[in-house]
């Protein structure tokens, strides 16, 4: 057990001569063993959870703030870094429970890892490198134009996501546990290999309605990719605005952003549209399965964001839904 006695320094404002600052004591216990890890004395009441994590990190350098979760109950909800100590439902002696999230990686690294894999894996199948199909098909190409078209669209999609990761997205200082990244990469990389195997297979047959089906799918694909990029650009500008008041996203002069009139997360709407078009283009069952699972997950994310907007903004447009205009 480690005890820290902090100097009585006021973080935000100097107390008047007639007032007396009441300091807090913070006890941090291990959430599993209930063992006391540290005891912080004379903690300023305006200190945030982030400040407490920083103090904890000085005592335990292996547990940097991104790895830490602090709760008021062993099985309770994690406290946000911006929450202020005196606003919590505790007395002047606060007991908090610590959980280790494990090694963390930043969001830029996470997005890069999730997207670089599908890009490269798909190309391995497209060029039919040895040991994927029979030796007689090594480094051969498909006679069907749709196979090349699908490869161009798939490559473009993931190149766009990589470029957005580097130049467009504005990430917070958050992070993701390494074990979660591994799970996500297995999901995205595995599905990429599965659908690429069948689309580029020597026995692959083109769509039932031929070039007409492919051309309509290409048109929808291009529209959704442009829409997705436009929404990401709009969200990036919103997050980059240094205005103190938080605002919800609204449509701009860009017609692709007009989807904000109807849904809270049009980036997910366009992303689903992209994979629907790719499913139609290739008429491949693994692509349809990937699209369905992606739609379910993005619907969960969109509904959560939609509820958060409603809670935060009293003037949030009532006509908006989460992801599918007028429906869902």
Handedness of CA 146, 150, 156, 160 (dihedral sign): positive
Q: What pLDDT is stored for residue 242 in this prediction?
A: 54
- Given a cut of 70, the residues of the chain with pLDDT beneath it are 1-20, 172-174, 240-245
Q: Residue 3, SS3? A: strand
pLDDT in tens, 45-74: 899 999 999 999 999 998 988 889 999 998
| Topology adopted by domain 24-102 | Ubiquitin-like (UB roll) (3.10.20)
State the DSSP H helix or E strand holding residue 283, giving kind and residue range, or none if neither: none
Residues 124 and 156: their CA atoms lie apart, in Å, by: 16
pTM of the predicted model as reported, rounded to 2 decimal places: 0.80
Residues 154 and 130: their CA atoms lie apart, in Å, by: 21
234 and 266 Cβ atoms separated by less than 8 Å = no
β-strand 93-100 against 24-30: which pairing, if any? parallel
pLDDT in tens, 226-246: 999 999 999 998 876 555 567
Name the H helices within the chain: 49-59, 107-126, 145-167, 178-199, 210-240, 266-282, 285-312
Residues 248 and 310: their CA atoms lie apart, in Å, by: 10
Task: Provide the Cα torsion 212, 291, 183, 102; round to 10°.
Answer: 120
178 and 110 Cβ atoms separated by less than 8 Å = no
Residues 71 and 98: their CA atoms lie apart, in Å, by: 7
Handedness of CA 289, 293, 299, 305 (dihedral sign): negative
∠ Cα 113 115 120 (to 5°): 100
Q: What pLDDT is stored for residue 8 in this prediction?
A: 44
Burial 246-267 (b: 16+ CB within 10 A, else e): eebbeeeeeebbebbebbbbbb
Residues 121 and 127: their CA atoms lie apart, in Å, by: 10
Q: Which value, in Å, is the radius of gyration of the alpha carbons in the chain?
A: 26
Q: What pLDDT is stored for residue 34 in this prediction?
A: 92
∠ Cα 222 226 232 (to 5°): 145
Burial 280-301 (b: 16+ CB within 10 A, else e): bbbbbebbbebbeebbeebbee
Domain boundaries, given as residue ranges, for the chain: 24-102, 105-312
282 and 289 Cβ atoms separated by less than 8 Å = no
Q: What pLDDT is stored for residue 108 in this prediction?
A: 87
């Amino acid at each position: 057990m480690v005890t820290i006695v902090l100097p009585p320094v006021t973080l935000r404002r100097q107390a008047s001569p007639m007032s007396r600052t009441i300091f807090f004591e913070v006890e941090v216990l291990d959430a599993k063993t209930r063992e006391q890890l540290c005891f912080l004395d004379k903690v300023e009441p305006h200190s945030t959870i982030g400040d407490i994590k920083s103090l904890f990190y000085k005592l335990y350098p292996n547990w940097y703030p991104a790895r830490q979760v602090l709760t008021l109950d062993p099985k309770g909800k994690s406290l946000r870094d911006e929450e202020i100590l005196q606003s919590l439902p505790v007395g002047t002696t606060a007991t908090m429970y610590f959980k280790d999230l494990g090694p963390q990686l930043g969001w830029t690294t996470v997005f890069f890892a999730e997207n670089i894999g599908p890009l490269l894996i798909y190309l391995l199948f497209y060029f039919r490198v040895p040991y994927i199909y029979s030796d007689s098909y090594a480094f051969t190409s498909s006679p069907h134009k749709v196979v090349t078209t699908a490869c161009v669209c798939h490559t473009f999609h993931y190149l766009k996501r990589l470029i957005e990761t580097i130049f467009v997205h504005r990430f917070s200082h958050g992070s993701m546990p390494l074990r979660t990244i591994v799970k996500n990469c297995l999901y995205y990389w595995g599905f990429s290999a599965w659908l690429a195997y069948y689309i580029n297979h020597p026995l692959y047959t083109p769509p039932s309605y031929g070039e007409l089906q492919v051309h309509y799918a290409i048109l929808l694909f291009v529209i959704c990719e442009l829409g997705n990029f436009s929404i990401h650009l709009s969200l990036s500008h919103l997050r980059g605005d240094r205005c103190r008041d938080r605002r919800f996203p609204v449509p701009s002069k860009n017609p692709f952003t007009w989807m904000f009139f109807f849904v809270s997360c049009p980036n997910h709407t366009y992303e689903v549209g992209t994979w629907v078009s790719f499913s139609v283009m290739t008429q491949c069952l693994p692509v349809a399965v990937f699209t369905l699972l992606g739609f379910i997950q993005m619907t969960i994310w969109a509904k959560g964001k939609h509820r958060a907007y409603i809670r935060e903004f009293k003037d949030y447009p009532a006509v908006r839904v989460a992801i599918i205009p007028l429906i869902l």
